[in-house]
Amino acid sequence: MKKQYFWSALAVAAIAFSTPAVAEHIVFIHTNDTHSQIDPTAADTGGIARRKVLIDSIRAAEPNTILVDAGDAVQGTTYFNLYGGEVEAKALNALGYDLAILGNHEFDNGMDALAKYVASIDADFISTNYDLSGTPLDSLVDRYKIINIGGKKIGIIGLNVEPAGIIDPSKSVGVKYQDVYRAANSTAWHLKHNEGVDYVVALSHIGYDYDGMPDDIDVATEGNDIDLIIGGHSHTVVKPGTFQGWKLNTDKEPVIITQTGSTGKYLGVVTIDTDTDSIKAQLIPVDSRLDNRLDPGLLAMLAPYRHGVDSLKSIVIGKTRIDCSDRSCEAIHNFVSAFLASRGRELTPGQHIDLAISNRGGVRTGMKKGNVTKGHIMEMLPFDNRVEVLEISGRDLLKSIEINARMHRVSYDRNIVAHLDDDEIEDATIDGKPIDPDATYRIATIDYIANGGDYMKPLVNGKVIAKSDNVMNADVMDYIGKLPRKTIKSDESDHFTVSK
């Protein structure tokens, strides 16, 4: 039977379903990329206790619910820095998650720590395109799940991002990536034709729309057995009721795609009406209107962890003139790049640093004008990266600039102007001076980038000549203490220009 699909507009105030519970509804409640946002954000959105209010309300109205997470439940706030995933695991259990998949940041503390984290969570973990045999995750993650609910069989697969270029190889030892399209299509076919499931749902952490890389749109349009994709990784708010929220598969039937953005700002709800064979998607804001219904038990569980986080946020280390609520603000990235250049010079006294390269994804929060605290810097730069100084050929530097022109994943402390022809680098300048392919350049960056992270693979060819003994956020705190009046200035200029 040809399926019917319906999409709702963005839900702006719904707290619970007002219609009577009906057995023919199967409801997926979903989250993605919540990134350790236990408390509400600086914009007063999200928060784990508010999320629980909505989840409990939906479950009270709908008996056939499945609560799932599409990855990156960890990393991004001081809760993860201090407690290594313990808080997030307890929160997932308190909310009663049924299924989850691995995001790239679940690997941030290495395989042994990840195995301990997964084992502590009541939800089942699945991955269809990671071969985890022989790793600490071997017996903890299934290839897929079949759930019998509401008189129907639901097959659920998990699609994961390729580790190369995005996950530190030292922290994902033994993980073997399998082509996401083949894994998705073959497993979905098996579930539909051999296992006889009624619907196939893909939990995905590959991103909604990435040029030149596997993404949810490609998975939807290059197969014919997947009915619903619940995504993550790209932090995209996929708006129900728009063409963004559905694509046609190879049989010209629509596939629903949904994603909630990041930091728990929205809760996603997908309702399958098995009587009419229709699917409806919603996004429900998670905000302060829920505050009078918070679960006292959950708040009590969080209280001792919150005390540790708040204590760090009370230690003032300087001031800033930067006033950006959005972590993508150029002023923040210019500050980080300027720090890298300064630290690079300290690590190589008497030597010239030609360029500093910082990864934009390494900055996790904005920066508001006023006091800067130790907790804020740890939250803004949460990763355990270390500053390195590389010597690299101009040819490899040009290739890395070419990659950044396509992906815009890194920032620079100097003005870079790149000239491309058909997306291939022709030439580039640093502060107006041409980069010589045959010359050697000295670059200050972090070990993640130097190891090819954020797809900067050409930098792997560089020679490390110095490395900091401290993690990056500790070095940044020292740097702020040495600034005039301990004040971070605002530089909002874009240091990267591309002409084609």
Residue 11 lies in a domain: no
Phi, psi for residue 445 in degrees, rounded to 5: -155, -160
Residues 284/267, Cβ–Cβ less than 8 Å? yes
**Residue 77 to residue 92: CA distance in whole angstroms:** 16
Is 319 found in the same domain as 303?
A: no
From the CB of residue 270, how many other CB atoms can be counted at a distance below 10 Å? 21
Residue 68 sits in a domain whose CATH number is 3.60.21.10
> Which carries the bigger pLDDT value, residue 16 or residue 203?
203
- Is the pLDDT reported for residue 8 higher than 70? no
User: Are 358 and 427 part of one and the same domain?
Assistant: yes
Q: Is residue 12 part of a domain?
A: no
Model pLDDT for residues 430-487, shown as the tens digit of each residue: 999 999 999 999 999 999 999 999 999 999 999 999 999 999 999 999 999 999 999 9
| 141/284 same-domain check | yes
Residue with tokens 């900091």, as numbered in its chain: 468
Number of Cβ within a 10 Å radius of residue 278: 14
Domain final residue pick, 307, 328, 349 = 307
* Strand-strand pairing, 246-248 and 124-126: unpaired
Residue 19 lies in a domain: no
Q: Which comes out higher in pLDDT, residue 139 or 13?
A: 139
Q: In terms of residue numbers, what domain contains 230? A: 25-307
pLDDT at 81: 93
User: What is the DSSP annotation of 201-257?
Assistant: EEEEES-S--TTS--HHHHHHT-SS--EEE--SS--B--TTSGGGEEE-TTS-EEEE
Residue given tokens 């355990």 in the structure block: 384
Q: pTM (2 decimals)? A: 0.89
Rounded distance between C-alpha atoms, residue 80 and residue 383, angstroms: 10
What stretches of 274-423 adopt beta strand conformation (E)?
Answer: 278-285, 316-320, 355-359, 370-373, 387-393, 410-412, 416-421
Please give the tally of structural domains in the chain.
2
> In this structure, are 217 and 347 located in the same domain?
no
Residue type, 446: I
Residues 368 and 457 in one domain: yes
- Tokens at 394, concatenated: 């101009």
Q: Tell me: pLDDT of 9 over 80.
A: no
Task: Find tokens 């579930």 and name the residue.
Answer: 191
For residues 220, 236, 127 and 39, what is the CA-based torsion angle, rounded to 10 degrees? -150
- Residue 135 located in a structural domain: yes
Domain boundary among 276, 307, 338: 307
Is residue 79 within 8 Å of residue 36, measured between CB atoms? yes
Q: 424 with 460, same domain?
A: yes
Domain identity same for 136 and 228: yes
C-alpha closest to that of 228 among 196, 253, 211:
253
Q: Which of 327, 320, 323 is nearest to 477 (CA)?
A: 320
Q: Is the pLDDT of residue 7 over 80?
A: no
Q: In this structure, are residues 416 and 464 in contact, taking their beta carbons and an 8 Å threshold?
A: no
H/E stretch holding 427 reads strand 424-430
356 phi and psi, to 5 degrees?
-110, 140
Residue 16 is assigned to a structural domain of this protein? no
Question: At 16, is the pLDDT very low, low, confident or very high (cuts 50, 70, 90)?
Answer: very low
CATH number of the domain where residue 417 is located: 3.90.780.10
Boundary of a domain, candidates 244, 272, 307: 307
The tokens of 409 are what? 């994943």
Same-domain check for residues 288 and 329: no
